[in-house]
Amino acid sequence: MAEAVDLIAAVAPRLSPDPETLAGWTPEAVAVAGYGAFDRISPTTAEAFGADGLDHLKQITEPWAERPPTTQA
């Protein structure tokens, strides 16, 4: 899986979604992957996110991280 994350990092800058859209997909990918498969996805795709995408990622993940975990989590 680490190799897949590296491949995602290589192609992410060439993806067509805008950085905020790309950042918006990240929390769900991390949450549903299990086993930490996408734990490195944010640092490895930071270039593709750019400053605006990283700011957006921070805005959408901070409230999520502050909520208490669910029974399922």
What confidence tens digit (pLDDT) does each residue in 33-64 have? 777 777 777 787 788 888 888 898 899 888 87
pTM attached to this predicted model: 0.61
Q: How confident is the model at residue 73, as a pLDDT?
A: 61
30-35: long-range contacts (C-beta < 8 A, 24 or more apart)? Answer: 35/1
Distance of CA 5 to the CA centre of its chain: 11
37 vs 59: CA distance, rounded Å: 23
Going from N- to C-terminal start, the domains of the chain cover 2-66
pLDDT score of 63 = 87
pLDDT at 72 over 80: no
